[in-house]
């Protein structure tokens, strides 16, 4: 489903529509990376536990997993709806910011630390 909205107050976006943005962001991850996403849950929550967070990766990056890693709880990527909505002016900006945040958190899943993620974002023009 494509959202066609002009000058929509994105702060009022229904939760299911925000979930759709997150799902589309996941589909934008290149297949060569997406196929390696295993034992990771992507969760949407309304607000972060502390100000300034758009998303949060919690788990053991692929680069640190051992042989027994298949018997662990899933890693968790949480995307926070409220800060995204407050930081954007329209649905197009919101969709891009969600995609950037999903990419950022998945980069942590693949073992990139914050400095490496920031360098990669700068190289690819992600804000």
**Picking from 6-10, 111-115, 122-126, which range would have the lowest pLDDT averaged per residue?**
6-10
Asked if residue 4 is part of any domain, the answer here is no
CB 38 within 8 A of CB 86: no
Residue 1 CA to residue 64 CA, distance in Å, equals 37
Asked if residue 100 is part of any domain, the answer here is yes
Asked if residue 2 is part of any domain, the answer here is no
Asked if residue 5 is part of any domain, the answer here is no
CB 110 within 8 A of CB 61: yes
- Give how many domains the chain has, as a whole number: 1
CATH number at residue 110: 3.30.2010.20
Asked if residue 32 is part of any domain, the answer here is yes
58-112 pLDDT, tens per residue?
A: 998 888 876 665 667 889 999 999 999 999 999 999 999 999 999 999 999 998 8
Asked if residue 84 is part of any domain, the answer here is yes
What Cα–Cα distance (Å) separates residue 71 from each residue in 59, 66, 114? 13, 10, 27
Asked if residue 96 is part of any domain, the answer here is yes
Asked if residue 82 is part of any domain, the answer here is yes
Q: State which residues form the domain around 106.
A: 10-123
Q: Is 88 exposed, middle or buried (0-12, 13-18, 19+ CB in 10 A)?
A: middle
Q: Select the more confidently predicted residue: 120 or 74.
A: 74
Q: Residue 6's pLDDT is what?
A: 44
24-58 pLDDT, tens per residue?
A: 999 999 999 899 898 899 999 999 999 999 999 99
Per DSSP, the three-state class of 112 is coil
């Amino acid at each position: 489903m494509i959202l066609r909205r002009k000058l929509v107050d994105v702060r009022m976006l229904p939760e299911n529509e925000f979930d759709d943005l997150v799902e589309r962001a996941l589909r934008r991850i290149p297949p060569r990376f997406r196929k390696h996403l295993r034992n990771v849950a992507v969760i949407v929550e309304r607000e972060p536990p502390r100000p300034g967070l758009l998303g949060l990766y919690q788990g053991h990056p692929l680069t640190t997993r051992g042989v027994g890693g298949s018997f662990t709880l899933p890693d968790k990527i949480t995307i926070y709806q409220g800060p995204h909505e407050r930081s954007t002016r329209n649905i197009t900006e919101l969709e891009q910011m969600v995609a950037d945040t999903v990419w950022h958190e998945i980069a942590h899943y693949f073992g990139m630390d914050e400095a490496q993620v920031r360098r990669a974002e700068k190289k690819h023009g992600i804000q």
